[in-house]
Amino acid sequence: MDCYHVCPEPDVLRQPLKSGDKRVMSQDCISCGRCIDVCVPKVLEFKVRPNAD
């Protein structure tokens, strides 16, 4: 739960951690990467999504 505690918007991690889905899809995620730095490897993944104009 280290990733949950360092996240400035911890509610965005609630669904991925509960479901086991590695993707954080919430628009409230600010993509700071703090969760990736402290979380166990391969629990969450960080990818850049293309802009849908």
Mean pLDDT of 22-41: 88
Query: Domain count of the chain?
Result: 1
In a domain, 53, yes or no: no
- The DSSP output letter for 50 is P
Q: What are phi and psi of 14, to 5 degrees?
A: -55, -50
Q: What is the mean pLDDT of residues 2-7?
A: 90
Average pLDDT over residues 1-15: 89
Give the pLDDT confidence score for residue 53 in this predicted structure. 56
Radius of gyration, alpha carbons of the chain: 11
Residue 42: inside a domain: yes
Tell me which residue range forms the domain holding 43.
1-47
Count Cα atoms within 13 angstroms, Cβ side, for 32: 15
Residue 34 placed within a domain: yes
